[in-house]
Structure 1
Amino acid sequence: MKAKMNELSAFVAVATHLSFQKAAIERGVTRSAVSHAVKTLEQHLGVRLLNRNTKAVTLTEPGEELLQRLKPAFEEVTNALEDLNKFRGTPSGMVKLTVPRAVAHLVLGDVLDKLLRENPGLSVDVSCDDNLVDIVAAGFDAGIRFGRSLRPDMIAVPLKHVLKFVVVGSPNYFQKRDIPKAPEDLLAHSCIRYRLPSGAVFAWGFARGKEQFSVEVNGRLTLDDQRMMVESALAGSGLALVFADLVKTQIESGQLVRCLKGWTCSIGDLYVYYSTRRHVSAALRALINALRE
């Protein structure tokens, strides 16, 4: 039998994702290279492992049986190689991480710089995505999300970084308007609304001591990117509810005016999370520790 390891691993990737494109992205090669590897494997084995058409990839009966035998074996090989990290001075390998866009800008920069400098054998692949990603199905090692977004089959490690929201507007916007002091004052203003990946518009909720207040703001501009919301607020398009860290410099310089002082807004604590079914590599452990610190 002439089947090679790269052909078998290519098949496992395609069979797991049921997609040649996703398997190619995971392996860091072209789609045609993955297709060629699987086709060559089928020729060597003399059986068809996958059914292909323009709409979907499905497993044949032999393909299903082979996947059930190969997948645990490849995981065992990966874990065996990973265990060699204990003999190295620093961990090595690749960690794939999914993070919301705004969180990536505010949290990851300094962390990744220090982590990579201290661990020359380590690589990190970050995907910025505001959608709730199934990290197991998508092939990620871990993700960063707010606590209320986590599934019960995930291990969640809390991060110290706290992200609070603030309402801001430009001095130009307030030339003919009063600065809102309470949440209900927002109803008299034009607000830049944030659209969630689900399609729903984010509700502005505030707290002050035991008081809580939620308001469905009005506005002609709806965006799905925090940085663009900041730019629109700077341009005078309306009031924006954005992460405080994102506009700290603009508030200090007077480019933006903070509203509703004394009121807070948060959507929960940040967590780095990973599947209970996934082996925690030394590389992933190093990333988690860096994020916690």
Structure 2
Amino acid sequence: MKSKYALALWVGAVVCWMLTGCDVRPTPPRTAEGATAKVVYIAPNDQAELQAVTAAEAARVNYRYRLRVLLGYYQRIGSMDKSTWAQRELDNLDQTQTFRWDGVEVVPPKGESVGGADERLLVEYAVGARKEYRMAVAELAAFYERKGDKFKASLIHNVQTRFDPVRTYMYFIEAELPPANLKPVAVIPAADALYAKAERLYHAGKPLPGVTFYDKEREALLTFLELVRDYPQSTKIAMSAYFIAEIYKEYFNEDVRAVHWYERSWQWDPNITQPARFQAAVLWDLRLKNYTKAVECYRASLKYDPERFGNRGTAERRIEELTGKK
């Protein structure tokens, strides 16, 4: 019975991958017996390994604790968007490590009151804990590489690759976005090469309707973000911002991030050749339910966006429905 169930799961996973390229995390390495390790043991009397593992576990536990505190704060003040971010980052962390260490137990603090807490300080603690965790995991991977323990090294590298950078946040949207007043005035060959790479990945990630390869879309997103970060004067930043918004919206349900990246695209290039204002309007309207911003963006799209089939009619209709005015 178990073998039939396992076979059904395997067939389902293969069909899912073939049809849609499901957004699944990398499979952990298997033992010599072909099993997935659920418990990993530290070599007896190996104090160096014990210290390295304990440091990584302490960093993970602290990071998780800091996310729990931040989530509790946002739930308490009723910030739904930020609660969603904190929960997604917590879920991301919980899905990175598929095993537990035998004989290593790090107990988190009992908790702390979030009444009257300083949001910026709580965010600073969480972001700092994330950085420390990723550094500790990298150091543990390097430890096993030096030691020549290929299996444990592969386990830790799997933890690294299962950690999704898309599901990490700065919690203040202005901290994630470059300034609105950037001037894309420089033709920079390195930036152009990054843009070409990211655009290829973006289109390769969606080769057919109903087929999505999330690994390619994720890599495209990170490459566009790299371009904007490293080459803020490049003539490619506005179009990169547009595609960043598209990927956030279409593949990762990051609607708040998406509308602000759409906005950056037309702030950096008011004559952008994509319907950025219309796309932002639809998000404000149908997903975020901010109808004031939706009407503002629909009106701007009528005035500034390039023509796309159906967009003008939709914008005019929604303005009338939302305002009662033609």
Question: Structure 1 or 2: larger strand share?
Answer: 1
Give 1 or 2: higher helix fraction.
2
TM over 0.5: no
Q: Return the TM-score normalized by structure 1.
A: 0.25
* Higher Cα Rg, which structure: 1
TM-score (ref. length: structure 2): 0.23
